[in-house]
Amino acid sequence: MNATERALVLKIGRFREADVWVRMLTPNRGVFNAFAFGGSRSRRRFVGCLDPLSHVLFTLGTSRRGDYTVLEEGSLLNNFSEIRKDSVRTGIAVNCMRFVEAVEVNPDDAGIAYDLLLETLTMLDESQANPEFVPWLFRAKYAFESGFTPDFMACGACGKPVGMESGYKFGIERGMIACPTCLSAGKPLDGLARPISTGALRALDWIQQSTPSDWATTVMDSEVRRQCSQLVELFVAYHLGLSWDNGMYKKV
C-alpha cells in the first residue's frame, strides 16, 4: 500500500543508468534510503525533487518482497532557492544535514529532527543573516530536544539559582551545574567538568528555550560564544557520540 510523507532530501546517488537512491529524513521514519527507479530520466514523476536540500511530498511504496522503500512520485514543496544562491548559507545547511545523517535518527526522534532541520533551513532561506555559529546551535538544540536537558540556571547539588558570582562548573556527563559554594565545600562534579561563566550559562539556557527563527539575529559575546561552543561540542560528543573533525562528523 502506498503512503505519502513529507521528506527532507539529504543525499542522492545514481545506480545503473537511470535509477536514483535517495537518503532522506521524514517526521515518522527518521533517516532512511529509498529508491526512485527511472528517477534520473523522469520528467513528470520527480520534477525538481531528487536534489539534496529539497523539501518534498513523496508517495512511498515498497518492493515486491517488501525489503526496501520505493519512491513512486514526488511533489516539490521547497527547494530553498535563497540558500542555494549563497555559498555560506549552503555550507551551514549542509553541515546541519550531515549532522542529522550522522546521528542516524530513528523513528522515536524523527519528529524532533525533522522539525528542527526544516525550521533551520527555512530560517536560512528567509533571512539575510549568515550566523556562522548556527551549526553548533543546531547540535545543541537537537541534543536538548532529544532528552538531554541540563538545568543551566540552578546548582545541581544545592538547588541555588545561578547568581552573578564567578566559579561555576558544568559537568558534561550528568549535565549538571555546580556553584562555587558547593565546589569549595568539597562537592566536586563527577567526570569531565569545565569552568563556565554566568554569561555562558544564561546563553545556554537561552539556546535551550530558543527556536531556529531566533538564531538569525543572535549576537553573542566572543568569550561567551567560545565557552558555549566548547561545552556544546563536549556535550554532543559524550551524549550523542559525534564530533566534528576535519570537515566531517565522526563517531567517538
Q: What angle do CA 43, 5, 121 make, to 5 degrees?
A: 85
In the chain, which segments carry CATH 2.40.50.140?
1-130
Would you state the pLDDT for residue 31?
A: 94
Would you state the pLDDT for residue 130?
A: 62
Assess if CATH 2.40.50.140 describes domain 1-130.
Answer: yes
pLDDT in tens, 127-151: 876 677 899 999 999 999 988 889 9
In the chain, which segments carry CATH 1.20.1440.120?
133-252
Please choose, from the candidates 192, 80, 92, the residue with its C-alpha nearest in 3D space to the C-alpha of residue 136: 92
Class of domain 133-252: mainly alpha
| Predicted confidence (pLDDT) at residue 188 exceeds the cutoff of 90 | no
Is residue 120 within 8 Å of 139, Cβ to Cβ?
A: no
Amino acid at 8: L
Would you state the pLDDT for residue 2?
A: 80
| Predicted confidence (pLDDT) at residue 116 exceeds the cutoff of 90 | yes
Would you state the pLDDT for residue 45?
A: 84
Mean pLDDT of the chain: 90
Would you state the pLDDT for residue 62?
A: 85
